[in-house]
Chain A
Amino acid sequence: MIKVSNKTSKIFRPEYALLWTIPLAFLTLFYFYPLATILGKSLVGINNFSQLLDLVRQPYVAKTLWFTIWQATLSTILTLAIGLPGAYLLAHYNFWGKNILRAITAIPFVLPTVVVAASFTSTLGPNGWINRALMNWLNLETAPIILNHTLWAILIAHVFYNTTIILRLVGDYWTLMDPKLIQAARCLGATRLKAFLGITLPLLTPAIVSAALLVFIFDFTSFGVILILGGPIFSTLEVAIYRQTINFFDLEMAALLSVIQLMCTLGLTVLYARFTRKTHRPLKTNRLPSISRQQLNWKTRISVGILIAILIIVLVVPLITLAFSSVFKFEPDRGERENASTGFTLKYYRELFINRRHSIFFVTPIETIIFSLRNATITMISALAIGLPTTWILARKTRLAQMLEPILMLPLGTSAVTLGLGFLLVFSRSPFNMRTSSLLIPLAHTLVAFPFVVRSLLPSWTIINPQLRKAAAMLGANPIQVWREIDLPIIGRAILVAGAFAFTISIGEFGATILLSRPEFTTVPMAIYRYLSLPGALNYGQAMALSTLLMIFCGTSIFCIEAIRPNAISEF
């Protein structure tokens, strides 16, 4: 790469310093101040290290930490068990509909956590399609498979959620591997197994480890899935922070758990970054190989078929059952006569506009949709307003920028529930009492979206070569024309992508929202969460309808993001 010397950036310019104040002021008030408050709370009355150690050794804390690690480990292993054969399939075989399968399998990963819980419920829940089918088939009175509030529910939902990461990260890397390496090993006398163990596996290991670490991080910080599907028995750090805050008002304990959570995720993120760098080692000495055009024998055809079927069952079927559940009525409503209709219905979508008298909400579902859209719009605007100056100064790579970059990326390692807790601690009392302000939720969303916005925008700023601007200026363009002709077209797409990310993240955000929402400020994920926890076919159907709408929205949005992204590299 050519290093462009950019001497002008070294000179101190007051207007750049002014630009710095925008992100720094925002982060200080909405991130560091709440975080410091959490730290202060967790360290109340702590004078030395052994006291701190005692705090962590409390049975409740130790038990929660242990379960968090345990379920994340199990989930990661299961995800690898499904994802690695899938990655092999996508990297080695061409089959009809491969691109469609690849695109659809990306959807679960971008779904809001409540929608994942809803699609699990629609598939494997007590009223799910599998239990319905078994009850019909075997003439049973009650559902034969009860997974809700078991560890299995959590594990299956996590596999559904995160298999995409393995498929993409390992699969894409595997595609790059030269098939000649294996052929060379075979000609040198290695059996299929030895060639796999001696060549394929060692070459894939960095990709597998970094993908597995990423899955582990997501499972470790999983909140909605465990809260909704795990029930009251299971508590990870995230869920425990929430319960200590909302149910037991033990803010010191919540703060302590948040600090432990923060340490763990930061450690894991650093580890992940280190392994990701290793995957940049070239897999081949030159040239891109192509997928073999070999005709497949029947044995291979059958195994390929089985692998495709597994991917469809795990990743696609839950999406379909969710959509079906939103337009299908299994049992008559309360108050309806016995001859009442079951079958296809749009009732649950019509109900979105109706406020039933027995509803415990103050707002109708359609109002939650409007509130969510409003939040998302505010989030998008504020995240871009802070993200644009931040990335512009980061791209200048001054010494100050290099020093401040890790600080600006810190919110990435902070869980949404922790952010919510910090907001709750700071903004529900003077001097910044905003507890009743409807801006609190979109502000929290802005913090959640901020790192994603920065990562979408930064590469575009860095590819705008200063020589381009100079060349344009030499050709007679004034500064405004330079900006319009050079900067805007390049950065424009990145702004679209970053905005779409911020909007989508806000629409689906659950962890911070649940701590900050009030009955009059209910977002769509909050409404789904409440409907799911209430009995009755109508509540169930409404949860499915809202979840289906969210699924369609997030699926569409991720397709658009992939389509307009400047260079479509799958990255998380």
Chain B
Amino acid sequence: MLEIIDISKSFGSIEALSRISFSVAKGEIIAILGPSGCGKSTLLSITAGLIGPDTGMIRWNGVSLTNVPPHLRNFGLMFQDNALFPHRNVFGNVAFGLKQLQMKPEAIDKQVSAILNIVGMRDLADRDVLSLSGGEQQRVALARTIAPNPRLLMLDEPLGSLDRNLREQLLHELRQILTDLEQTVIYVTHDQDEAFAIADRVVIMNTGKLIQIGRPRDIYAHPASTFVARFLGLTNILETSVVSVDTNNRVKISENSLIPISQPPPKHMKHPRILIRPRGAQLSEHGTLSGILTNVSFRGALVDLKIIVSNGLQLRFEVPTPSIIPKIGTKINLTLPEDASIWIEDDSL
């Protein structure tokens, strides 16, 4: 088990990491999700031992790694942009870590072909790495990182530079490979779809701080703050000055649009806001929420609807694609589930 305990790190006056603590269980895939510059890569470098933290420590199975140099940690780190060795071919790159283990050449040959087979690059062992496509380079980098059988695998934006289609395809392959290998993984990304698709648990970071940690569906259901909500694309965030909550625990969005809210604002929230989740809404003539449709985007089984309610608020909902999609400019009514709205802390202030 990996434990990251109270890690802080500053570069000059910039605080890159501030008291980060969490742990990763054996075989667990953890995704660290956050915008660029939030300190994700620095945290990986500290875990790998490439740079030292200002405070805190990294422990593996209860043993501190503070004085263990990177080459003795047996942690694999796959770099953003892959960092393939340009003067070695595919085989030479994948074999590099095995050579450091003083393995016999025959054993290395065998292991490299086995790994290249896993990543689907068996026939390209003799290729110059600079002649490979982006997706192929990514596979070689993955093969190189997992070849020495690291006890922890860290992936830094592994799909970052690839185009959308290739990313989705490789993401599923990657998930398959990682679960097959029963690897303990930290996966760093700025893309929430990637994080949610691959991870058992997600760590959300912003400006060097850990904002929320939890299972993807829990985070989606209960984002810890407006930052998390906006990062996940949940943009229906309402100021309490714009809307009012009546005594029956119902949010009054406009004259005849009432939405139930689960509870009164929790006491610990300094700046409570109301979040209306876009998912679960249904088009219905008797819906309690009505507005003018301003935008429709078709996403297969779902459509994204943007509406303006009577007091000028703009809201977005995802509804199951109806047989007849309403026209822009018409008035529509929506039914929302009972738990559609929750209280949320505004941390942007």
Contacts and interface: CB of A to CB of B under 8 A. Distances in A.
A282 B148 contact: no
Contact of A180 (B72, B75, B83): B83
Interface string A173-189: 00000101101111111
A184 B81 CA distance: 12
B130 A190 contact: no
B231 interface: no
23 contacts: A181-B83, A183-B79, A183-B83, A184-B77, A184-B85, A185-B85, A185-B96, A186-B71, A187-B50, A187-B76, A188-B76, A188-B97, A188-B148, A189-B97, A189-B148, A190-B96, A190-B100, A203-B86, A285-B83, A285-B84, A285-B137, A286-B81, A293-B12
A357 interface: no
A89 B110 CA distance: 41
Query: Could you say which interface size class chain A belongs to?
Result: 20 to 34
A428 interface: no
A226 to B, nearest CB: 38
Q: Which 4 A-B pairs have the closest CB atoms?
A: A189-B100, A188-B97, A180-B83, A186-B70
B83 A178 contact: yes
A183 B11 CA distance: 19
Given A183-B79, A282-B130, A189 B74 contact: yes
A284 B144 CA distance: 17
A207 to B, nearest CB: 12
B23 interface: no
Nearest to A194: B100
Interface in A195-218: 198-199, 202-203
B8 interface: no
Given A203-B87, A294-B51, 12 more contacts: A180-B81, A181-B85, A184-B144, A185-B96, A186-B69, A188-B71, A189-B71, A189-B101, A190-B96, A202-B87, A285-B84, A287-B81
A287 B79 CA distance: 13
**Most chain A C-beta atoms within 10 Å of own C-beta, residue among B73, B81, B130:** B81
Interface string B41-83: 0000100101100000000000000000111111111010111
B161 interface: yes
A283 interface: yes
**Most chain B C-beta atoms within 10 Å of own C-beta, residue among A178, A183, A285:** A285
B129 interface: yes
A184 B11 contact: no
Interface in B148-188: 148, 161
Interface of A: 178, 180-181, 183-191, 194, 198-199, 202-203, 281-287, 293-294
Contacts of B71: 186-191
A285 B197 CA distance: 28
**Most chain A C-beta atoms within 10 Å of own C-beta, residue among B84, B101, B145:** B84
B86 A198 contact: no
Given A178-B83, A189-B74, A183 B50 contact: yes
A198 B97 CA distance: 11
Nearest to A184: B83
B85 to A, nearest CB: 6
Nearest to B84: A285
A188 B95 CA distance: 10
B130 A285 contact: yes
A198 B85 CA distance: 10
Contacts of A283: 86
A189 B68 CA distance: 12
B86 A187 contact: no
A285 B12 CA distance: 30
B86 A282 contact: yes
B156 to A, nearest CB: 9
**Most chain A C-beta atoms within 10 Å of own C-beta, residue among B74, B86, B144, B145:** B86
A285 B160 CA distance: 14
Contact of B86 (A191, A284, A287): A284
B85 A199 contact: yes
Contacts of A188: 71, 76, 96-97, 100, 144-145, 148
Interface string B81-108: 1111111000000001100110000000
Contacts of A187: 48, 50, 70-71, 73, 75-77, 145
A198 B70 contact: no
A183 B77 contact: yes
A285 B85 CA distance: 9
B289 to A, nearest CB: 47
Contacts of A287: 81
A287 B97 CA distance: 24
A183 B75 CA distance: 12
A382 B75 CA distance: 66
Contacts of A191: 69, 71
